[in-house]
Structure 1
Amino acid sequence: MRDLRKEFHVRPVAREIVGEESSGQRIDNFLMRHLKGVPKSHIYQLLHSGQVRLNSRRVGADQALRPGDVVRIPPVRMAGDGAVSRRSIDRSAFVAFRVVYEDRALLAIDKPAGLAVHGGSGLSFGVIEQLRAQHPDWKFLELVHRLDRETSGILLLAKSRGPLVELHRQFRVGSVGKYYMALVRGKWRNIRQSVKLPLGRYLTSSGERRVAVVAPDRGDLPGKMAAHTVFTLRGVHGGFSLLEAELKTGRTHQIRVHLAHLGFPIAGDDKYGDFAWNRQLARSGEPPRLGRMFLHALRLDVTHPVTGRRLLLETPLAGELQEFLDGLDRA
């Protein structure tokens, strides 16, 4: 008879490199995101006992993180499906990623929408687990930055620690050009518009993490972060505007929250958009339905961490997004 008791496994020791999207986040909250299902009391015990290390040092639970920091997470007993080994993904489940650029130091792929960059939150395999399983001979592979699950486009990874640290430095000091395409509801007024609206994190009644624009006079609000986006109008399609968004900072959900706050929600955005409008867009008919968020990581402009040459990485709009635009033009 099958044992119906809770099954557990031990998550091996891990070293997570902090990305720009976690800048300013407390280490206890960072651990809760990476150790979903582990009781908070146990996470605090790991911190207080010194088993968690930040850059090889003991820290308190309220320690704020910076991009490039290395967090050592000790072995943890977890319930259910957790860490994924390289051999646990069946070859038939492999995703065929389109490679935009590759050399001995870097890998840039065109990430499809609907695939998380990391496994977890009920998702068995993310991009990084997929790529590690597809290339078991690679000794090192880490994400340089992150994209939301429903965002498609350029995703950059490093094949060794030196390039990873240097690219994190470039993201941290703002020397990387980050450009997205977004389709919004309404007629955008200006050809080019700079938006500087600070953002803060909060929890919904269901415990989900969200981001919102913070009023300028709320300087006492914990977690308040400066956020700067430059929007350029690239086209008008019926009642929609196609915008290129340049990220001057890299806050979580920055483009989505800035646009929603200004009254121009992104088509298909299921967190900050117009939900009734999204349902209409997802229905069949002409123009073609839009079953995802219209946000695409179009271009990255970085300095190669080894050669020192400028590297422009670009990918066209995802096919389903281009088809939706074409349908709007035919309507």
Structure 2
Amino acid sequence: MSEQPPAAGKASLIEIDESCSGQRIDNFLFTKLKGVPKSHVYRILRSGEVRVNGGRSQPSRKLDTGDKVRIPPLRLPEREEAPLPGNLLRARLEHRILFEDDSFMVVNKPAGMAVHGGSGLAYGVIEAMRNIRPELRFIELVHRLDRDTSGCLLLAKKRSALRDLHELFRSEHDVEKFYLALLSGVWARKQQLVDAPLKKNTLKSGERIVRIASDGKPAQTHFRRMRKYSGATLVEAQLLTGRTHQIRVHAQSIGHPLAGDERYGEDKLNAVFRNQGLKRLFLHAAKLSFKHPATGKAFNIEAPLETDLQQYLDTLATLE
């Protein structure tokens, strides 16, 4: 199946195989026409220039195996080729694959790397993995992690697996997500369920920030203390919902923002952490558990704590 947009003056005809069966036509076009504005995609759908089996198609139409999709010629300004990830980064990611089968893979995402390109970033984990594995006809993100967060990141290798995994993640009860986080200060409690709705806000500067708000989306995080240190507390945070910046905002709400959190933390405390050797946000996606979409069997995966975070913990004096 062609992976390139049609050239100017020439239409392309693509036959749908199993990997794309069940996908909406608009989402299919977004994937095939990388870099083409969504407004343009919807324009050629509305105008009837995109044809499915010779007929017009609504954006919500779901494709079936064997459907033939005609994409009209596109006349877009020439764009520079996006730079590819370097060999060292590609090798690094290749060695961070924790699990892989025919349905999906789990990558131990490094901190500081976005899950996808955009907003000034030429590429992220998904673009790098596509470059590393050009033989894969399909590979998509199942969920996301913040750029500064390391740990378990799930990528689907089949359209059917992506649908099934998305359904699991939407239920918020069929996937167990555990993080390791370092709270600033000594947290006296052994465990706590934080139940506080969250709402996204955009500041005048354009920065996106999340706040607790009564009209926000429901959000629950269960914190369990693992070890107390001098000036910090290591906790396991279980996400019972999946909101943007959820752990970070909920930690802030109990008076113990995450160590190294420049957005929701305290500058003075972060300066202390930096002087002690912590160079990043201390948040790591440690474990994922769910039913395998193909076998129905329980699937559990763990990403070991990053070396830099473990080395930092080793420098701290323990209180218990």
Task: State whether structure 2 residue 60 is matched by structure 1 residue 57.
Answer: yes
Give the Cα–Cα distance (whole angstroms) in 2 for the partners of residues 50 and 95 of structure 1: 40
Task: State whether structure 2 residue 140 is matched by structure 1 residue 142.
Answer: yes
Cα distance, 1:239 vs structure 2: 1.6
In structure 1, the partner of 2:11 is none
In structure 2, the partner of 1:106 is 104
Task: State whether structure 2 residue 307 is matched by structure 1 residue 290.
Answer: no
State the 4+ residue runs in structure 1 displaced beyond 3 angstroms: 42-53, 75-81, 88-93
In the comparison of the two structures, how many residue pairs are matched? 268
RMSD: 3.2
Give the Cα–Cα distance (whole angstroms) in 1 for the partners of residues 185 and 237 of structure 2: 16
CA contact (8 A) 2:219 2:246 kept: yes
Q: Secondary structure at the match of 1:308?
A: coil
Cα distance, 1:120 vs structure 2: 1.4
Give the Cα–Cα distance (whole angstroms) in 1 for the partners of residues 78 and 254 of structure 2: 42
Change (3 A) 1:90 1:297: closer
Q: Secondary structure at the match of 2:189?
A: coil
CA contact (8 A) 2:186 2:229 kept: no
Q: Percent of aligned pairs with the same residue?
A: 41
In structure 2, the partner of 1:123 is 121
Change (3 A) 1:330 1:12: farther
Change (3 A) 1:300 1:78: farther
In structure 1, the partner of 2:272 is 280
Q: Deviations over 1:168-197 (max 9, x none)?
A: 111111210000011011222321211110
Give the Cα–Cα distance (whole angstroms) in 1 for the partners of residues 161 and 75 of structure 2: 29
Change (3 A) 1:51 1:271: farther
CA contact (8 A) 1:12 1:76 kept: no
Map 1:214-229 to 2 at 5 A: 214=213, 216=214, 219=215, 224-229=216-221
In structure 2, the partner of 1:17 is none
Q: Deviations over 1:257-299 (max 9, x none)?
A: 111122111001111111232123223xxx4x10100000000
Task: State whether structure 2 residue 90 is matched by structure 1 residue 94.
Answer: yes
Q: Secondary structure at the match of 2:119?
A: coil
In structure 2, the partner of 1:70 is none
Q: Secondary structure at the match of 2:108?
A: strand
Residue ranges of structure 1 left out of the alignment (5+ in a row): 1-10, 14-30, 59-74
| TM-score after normalising by structure 2 | 0.75
| TM-score after normalising by structure 1 | 0.72
CA contact (8 A) 2:227 2:318 kept: no
Give the Cα–Cα distance (whole angstroms) in 1 for the partners of residues 45 and 59 of structure 2: 10
Greater Rg, structure 1 or structure 2?
2
Cα distance, 1:122 vs structure 2: 1.7
Change (3 A) 1:134 1:191: same
Identify the match of residue 151 of structure 1 among 149, 172, 186.
149
Give 2:160's aligned amino acid.
G
Q: After the TM superposition, which of the residue ranges 117-126 and 297-306 deviates more from structure 2?
A: 117-126
In structure 1, the partner of 2:177 is 178
CA contact (8 A) 1:196 1:228 kept: yes
Task: State whether structure 2 residue 284 is matched by structure 1 residue 309.
Answer: no
Give the Cα–Cα distance (whole angstroms) in 2 for the partners of residues 204 and 244 of structure 1: 31
CA contact (8 A) 2:42 2:59 kept: no
Q: Secondary structure at the match of 1:269?
A: coil
Change (3 A) 1:92 1:312: closer
CA contact (8 A) 1:95 1:130 kept: no
Give 2:279's aligned amino acid.
G
Cα distance, 1:47 vs structure 2: 5.9
Give the Cα–Cα distance (whole angstroms) in 1 for the partners of residues 117 and 269 of structure 2: 30
CA contact (8 A) 1:150 1:292 kept: yes
Give the Cα–Cα distance (whole angstroms) in 2 for the partners of residues 173 and 89 of structure 1: 35
Give the Cα–Cα distance (whole angstroms) in 2 for the partners of residues 47 and 138 of structure 1: 28
